[in-house]
Amino acid sequence: MSDDTQRRLRRGWLRRLQQQMSGEPQDREALLEDLREAAERGLLDADALEMLEGVIAVGDLHVRDIMVPRSQMTVVGRDDGVAQLLPVVVESGHSRFPVIGEDRDQVVGILLAKDLLRYYAENGAADFDIRECIRPAVFVPESKRLNVLLREFRKNRYHMAIVVDEYGGVAGLVTIEDVIEQIVGDIADEYDVEEDLPIRRDAERQYTVRALTRIAEFNEYFGTQLSDAEFDTVGGLVAHGFGRVPRRGESVRLEDFEFRVQRADRRRIDLLKVTAPRDVVPPEEAGG
């Protein structure tokens, strides 16, 4: 196909796309069909198509669809000292934490890890007061659409919101990363496991495990006997334990192991945080 022909096809497809986007919501399926047709003709690559599909899907999703549930939120207390705060910050790997008062329905602000560390470095533990560090919390209803929330995140330059239900109680939390991942897919971070390292020991009894790790390999590493009769991978077994694809932060126990979802999208689990009943040190770390 000549360059001129490709340009004509691209201009024609773009005109159709513009017409669809200016239409009513019931034309969304036709828009998706045009996008997929464009990908088949080579006018869009697979990644671009996936992101455009994500952009369209975001308009149909609500905060409740992607939020971290209240029971799975990592929170800190308004009266916590440095000795209580630092282990939470280090072990969770998060950068922002809801600060609660008497219970999880009383969110009094947001603590940023960088604010905590800066204040601690400048003032020390003796003079530490978490009230000097916390920032105001933003509250959003669980019925808010994600495209509206994303605009608010960008306009007001905040990265986390506390989700409240119709009665004003705390239902969970949502971050700008949660919304963006619905568009671009999962965002890798510094807690990722190397491709050639399916299981990584992080601390005593704490491990990061790729969901695609084969159950047989998991059993060999930990000396377990998890069944691989129905599923080949750890992620498949964990999803079966939930009875659905779980959200980030949710956990399930299989035998004596706790599997917490560290990263997942709407289709699959990607990364798990595993707490083992006993410590297992890889031979290379043990000097074996």
What is the band of 128 on the pLDDT scale with cuts at 50, 70, 90? confident
- Average pLDDT for 208-219: 93
**Residue 219 pLDDT level (bands cut at 50, 70, 90):** very high
Q: For residue 29, is pLDDT > 60?
A: yes
CB 248 within 8 A of CB 263: yes
Lowest mean pLDDT among 129-138, 187-196, 222-231, 264-273: 187-196
More confident residue, 252 or 186: 252
What is the mean pLDDT of the segment spanning 223-230? Answer: 90
Closest CA to 193 of 213, 211, 210: 210
CA terminus-to-terminus distance, the chain? 60
Nearest CA among 270, 263, 257 for reference residue 219: 257
Tell me the domain boundaries of the chain: 3-57, 72-184, 199-286
Lowest mean pLDDT among 18-32, 111-125, 190-204: 18-32
Q: How confident is the model at residue 41 (pLDDT cuts 50, 70, 90)?
A: confident
Q: Which residue has the higher pLDDT, 190 or 112?
A: 112
What average pLDDT score do residues 113-120 get? Answer: 86
Instruction: Give the mean pLDDT of 282-288.
Output: 56
Instruction: pLDDT band for 23, please (50, 70, 90 cuts).
Output: very low
- Dihedral angle of Cα 102, 103, 107, 109, to the nearest 10 degrees: 60
What pLDDT sits at residue 144?
92
Q: What is the pTM of this model?
A: 0.56
What is the rounded distance in angstroms from the CA atom of residue 241 to the CA atom of residue 65? 20
In the chain, DSSP assigns E strands to 68-69, 76-77, 96-100, 107-112, 139-141, 160-164, 170-175, 199-203, 206-210, 251-254, 257-264, 269-275
Which two three-digit tokens encode residue 34? 């045009």
Instruction: Supply 10's token pair.
Output: 């691209």
Class of domain 199-286: alpha beta
Average per-residue pLDDT for the chain: 80
Query: How does pLDDT run across 249-277, given as a tens digit for each residue?
Result: 788 999 899 999 887 766 778 889 999 99
130-173: pLDDT as tens digits = 888 899 999 999 999 888 898 899 899 889 999 999 888 999 99
Report pLDDT for 17. Answer: 53
Of 17 and 155, the structure prediction assigns the larger pLDDT to 155
Q: What CATH number has the domain spanning 72-184?
A: 3.10.580.10
Q: Residue 16 above 80 pLDDT?
A: no
**58-87: pLDDT as tens digits:** 777 888 888 888 877 889 999 888 888 888
How confident is the model over 172-198, as a mean pLDDT?
A: 70
Nearest C-alpha neighbor of 214 from the set 183, 230, 235, 197:
235
Bigger pLDDT: 264 vs 106: 106
- Residue 267 to residue 250: CA distance in whole angstroms: 15
pLDDT at 83: 83
In the numeric block, the tokens 């560390």 are attached to 117
